[in-house]
């Protein structure tokens, strides 16, 4: 059991995406970086999507109120437990009275703190994930505040100490190259704009949220008026409004949108979106759907060597 | 169903086709869900998009074609939902301007809006936001040039030929004609949404 002392810029409980309710306008939500959350959960013997804490830019601390097994993975490469350095990507057995701190991070954006058996949380449409704009899931549908008590579903302790295999520990920089495919309205771009989209490096704007990452630095020329009938959009969809500054949609993406959908981040790289912060550089690598699917197969096979367990039903997959 | 259904891959895990009406999008999307096609099926106003795992890419097109070819009988009839609206005033600040544009009195507009049986064509954008058809052709109301940063829960707007119901407060660009006290979205209910896609709706002036 943990009590939040400092929530940092934005912390929330996230579990599985809320699949199957987009026809009611309900976004998926869930972790912005599903791989880091799965890695943290793995270290405490949980399923990949068990409810964990998503912490944005570090700057978080909590008091341990009952002994428990926790693990962190993502942007923070270390934690402090009562002032002593504790590594990420390893099961940490923390004792009542200790304080867990995650320092501010310089690279990457989000860190996941998992607890043995997962955290208790509100559920809607079969998911505990917090969707803050509408106020559901997690802790009363909101970002965590100091004083919030986070309680494990079962016994929070574990006898096992595990470590993520070295080859699976992600390293984040300020430059991201993301595989992507052209989407339905890529034809709305001029030839020059299309060339720019898939070759230039963009800078992520300041309004980077769980809903979307604005890309700045290269305004794209649209050959239409930029208006169309609302069409389905998903996490990974890249929209281009009339302003010409594209937006990559993330896990909290709305369900439909009226701007041209010019590209889609390939599923294999979508989890990385959760680690991109304002000022970072993003380059889109154009791929055919077939090549993107092959890259997904390879990445899933690699992750499955560690993340597929009897507890997860050997069913780990990227989304 | 459209005989000339053309599938377009718009991502490694997304495939979609165009339809000529929101009701066709809605019913074909439901047909695909009934056949458990892909991981998720979402209808837009003129498109249906299927999200699938790329490992199933080889079979997804054939499965979509098969599913739309063999519709399940539509046994489900959704009852009419009556929605009480307070038109105009502070709750519908754009009604006067809309009526001036259309050359209608406010009462004539309200009579027009309450006399029709409307249909929920799509829910989307934000949780529970309902795109409702039923306004007569020709009432092509443009969106606001400057969207409002915050539109209250229950607001009723119109844009093009659609009525829009804001189930949640949030930013919004639709001119507002009124507001309802009906509980459009309540996470605590077994059915969190008052409305569902395809449902007939009648508005009442209160």
Domain segments of chain A: what residues? Answer: 2-168, 175-297
On whether both B45 and B98 belong to a single domain, the answer is no
DSSP-assigned states of every residue in A109-145: SEEEEEETT-B--B-BTTB---BTTTTBSBBTTB---
Instruction: Closest CB to B9: pick one of A26, A234, A289.
Output: A289
On whether both B85 and B64 belong to a single domain, the answer is no
Is residue A227 scored above 80 in pLDDT? Answer: no
Q: What is the pLDDT of residues B81-106, one digit of tens each?
A: 999 999 999 999 999 999 998 899 99
Q: How far is A262 from chain B (nearest CA, A)?
A: 9
CB < 8 Å to A27, chain B: 127
Residue of B92, B123, B103 lying closest to B191 (CA atoms): B123
On whether both B119 and B25 belong to a single domain, the answer is no
In which band, very low, low, confident or very high, does the pLDDT at A194 lie, cut at 50, 70 and 90? very high
On whether both B195 and B125 belong to a single domain, the answer is yes
Q: What is the pLDDT of residues A269-312, one digit of tens each?
A: 999 999 999 999 999 999 999 999 999 999 999 999 999 988 77
* Per-residue confidence (pLDDT) for residue A167, from 0 to 100: 93
In which band, very low, low, confident or very high, does the pLDDT at B75 lie, cut at 50, 70 and 90? low
Q: Please give the residue of chain A at the shortest CA–CA distance from B33.
A: A20
Residues in chain B: 206
Boundary (domain end) residue, out of B26, B48, B69: B69
Q: Please give the residue of chain A at the shortest CA–CA distance from B51.
A: A234
* Per-residue confidence (pLDDT) for residue B3, from 0 to 100: 56
Q: Which long-range contacts (CB under 8 A, 24 or more apart) does B16-21 make?
A: B16/A184, B16/A231, B16/A232, B16/B47, B16/B48, B16/B49, B16/B50, B17/B47, B17/B48, B17/B64, B18/B46, B18/B47, B19/B46, B19/B47, B19/B48, B20/B46, B21/B46
Topology of the domain covering A175-297: Cyclophilin (2.40.100)
Q: What is the pLDDT of residues A129-156, one digit of tens each?
A: 999 988 899 999 999 999 999 999 998 9
Residues A307 and A301: their CA atoms lie apart, in Å, by 10
DSSP-assigned states of every residue in A45-76: T--TTS-EEEEESS-EEEEE-S-EEEEEEES-
Q: Which residues of B touch A (CB under 8 A)?
A: 8-14, 16, 29, 39-49, 51, 53-55, 57, 122-129, 131, 167-168, 170, 185, 187, 192-193, 196-197
Beta-strand relationship, A281-286 and A201-204: antiparallel
Q: What is the pLDDT of residues A51-75, one digit of tens each?
A: 999 999 999 999 999 999 999 999 9
Contact (CB<8Å) A184/B10: yes
Q: CATH no. for residue B200?
A: 2.40.100.10
Q: The whole model's pTM is what?
A: 0.93
Q: Please give the residue of chain B at the shortest CA–CA distance from A135.
A: B187
Locate tokens 């891959």: which residue? B9
* Per-residue confidence (pLDDT) for residue B72, from 0 to 100: 66
Mean pLDDT of A75-88: 97
Q: How far is A45 from chain B (nearest CA, A)?
A: 26
Is residue B145 scored above 80 in pLDDT? Answer: no
Range of the domain at B53: 8-69
Interface contacts A/B by beta carbons within 8 Å = 133
Q: How far is B95 from chain A (nearest CA, A)?
A: 24
* Per-residue confidence (pLDDT) for residue B189, from 0 to 100: 85
Domain assignment present for B148? yes
On whether both B52 and B85 belong to a single domain, the answer is no
Domain assignment present for B3? no
Tally of domains in chain B: 2
Residue of A25, A281, A130 lying closest to B130 (CA atoms): A25
Residue of A28, A5, A77, A69 lying closest to A234 (CA atoms): A28
Q: CATH no. for residue B38?
A: 3.30.1360.40
Looking at this predicted complex, what is its ipTM?
A: 0.95
Contact (CB<8Å) A23/B53: no
* Per-residue confidence (pLDDT) for residue B161, from 0 to 100: 82
In which band, very low, low, confident or very high, does the pLDDT at B170 lie, cut at 50, 70 and 90? confident
In which band, very low, low, confident or very high, does the pLDDT at B139 lie, cut at 50, 70 and 90? confident
Residues B35 and B67: their CA atoms lie apart, in Å, by 6
Q: Please give the residue of chain B at the shortest CA–CA distance from A229.
A: B45
Task: Report the alpha-carbon angle A197-A201-A203, nearest 5.
Answer: 105
Instruction: Closest CB to B125: pick one of A20, A236, A256.
Output: A256
* Per-residue confidence (pLDDT) for residue B76, from 0 to 100: 67
* Per-residue confidence (pLDDT) for residue A310, from 0 to 100: 83
Is residue A127 scored above 90 in pLDDT? Answer: yes
Residue of A265, A178, A187 lying closest to B13 (CA atoms): A265
In which band, very low, low, confident or very high, does the pLDDT at B135 lie, cut at 50, 70 and 90? confident
Average pLDDT score over chain A = 95
Task: Report the alpha-carbon angle A272-A180-A128, nearest 5.
Answer: 40
CB < 8 Å to A26, chain B: 127
Residues in chain A: 319
Contact (CB<8Å) B12/A296: yes
Residues with Cβ within 8 Å of B77's Cβ and at least 6 positions away in sequence, in order, are none
In which band, very low, low, confident or very high, does the pLDDT at B2 lie, cut at 50, 70 and 90? low
* Per-residue confidence (pLDDT) for residue B73, from 0 to 100: 64
């Amino acid at each position: 059991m943990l009590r939040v002392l400092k929530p940092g810029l934005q912390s929330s409980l996230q579990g599985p995406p809320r699949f199957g309710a987009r026809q009611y306008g309900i976004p998926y939500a869930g972790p912005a970086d599903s791989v880091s959350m799965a890695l943290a959960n793995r270290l405490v013997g949980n399923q990949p999507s068990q409810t964990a804490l998503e912490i944005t830019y570090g700057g978080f601390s909590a008091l341990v109120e009952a002994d428990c097994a926790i693990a962190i993975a993502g942007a923070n490469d270390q934690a402090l437990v009562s002032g002593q350095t504790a590594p990420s990507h390893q099961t940490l057995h923390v004792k009542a009275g200790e304080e867990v701190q995650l320092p501010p991070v310089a690279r990457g954006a989000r860190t996941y703190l998992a607890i043995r058996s997962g955290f208790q949380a509100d559920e809607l449409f079969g998911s505990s994930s917090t969707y803050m704009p509408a106020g559901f899931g997690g802790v009363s549908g909101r970002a965590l505040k100091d004083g919030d008590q986070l309680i494990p579903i079962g016994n929070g302790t574990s006898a096992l100490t595990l470590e993520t295999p070295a080859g699976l520990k992600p390293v984040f920089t300020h430059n991201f190259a993301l595989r992507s495919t052209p989407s339905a309205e890529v034809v709305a771009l001029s030839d020059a704009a299309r060339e720019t989209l898939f070759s230039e490096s963009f800078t992520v704007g300041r309004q980077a949220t769980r809903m979307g990452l604005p890309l700045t630095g290269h305004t794209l020329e649209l050959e239409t008026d930029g208006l169309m009938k609302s069409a389905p959009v998903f996490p990974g969809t890249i929209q281009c409004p009339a302003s010409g500054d594209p937006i990559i949609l993330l896990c909290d993406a709305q369900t439909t949108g009226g701007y041209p959908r010019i590209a889609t981040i390939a599923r294999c790289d979508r989890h990385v979106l959760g680690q991109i912060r304002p000022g970072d550089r993003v380059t889109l690598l154009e791929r055919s759907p077939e090549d993107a699917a092959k890259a997904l197969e390879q990445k899933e096979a690699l992750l499955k060597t560690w993340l597929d367990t009897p507890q997860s039903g050997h069913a780990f997959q990227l989304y | 169903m459209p005989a000339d259904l053309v599938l377009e891959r718009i991502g490694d895990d997304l495939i979609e086709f165009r339809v000529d009406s929101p009701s066709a999008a809605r019913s074909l999307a439901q047909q695909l869900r009934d056949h458990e096609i892909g991981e998720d099926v979402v209808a837009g106003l003129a498109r249906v998009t299927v999200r699938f795992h790329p490992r199933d890419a080889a079979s997804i097109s054939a499965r979509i074609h098969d599913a739309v070819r063999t519709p399940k009988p539509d046994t489900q009839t959704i009852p009419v939902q009556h929605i009480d609206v307070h038109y105009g005033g502070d709750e519908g600040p754009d009604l006067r301007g809309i009526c001036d544009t259309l050359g209608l009195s406010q009462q004539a507009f309200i009579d027009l809006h309450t006399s029709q049986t409307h249909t929920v064509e799509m829910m989307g954008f934000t949780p529970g936001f309902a795109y409702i058809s039923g306004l007569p052709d020709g009432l092509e109301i443009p969106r606001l040039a400057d969207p409002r940063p915050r539109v209250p829960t229950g607001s009723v707007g119109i844009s093009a030929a659609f009525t829009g119901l804001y189930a949640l407060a949030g930013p919004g660009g639709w001119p507002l004609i009124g507001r309802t006290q009906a509980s459009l979205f309540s996470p605590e209910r077994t059915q969190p949404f008052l409305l569902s896609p395809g449902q007939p709706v009648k508005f009442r002036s209160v």
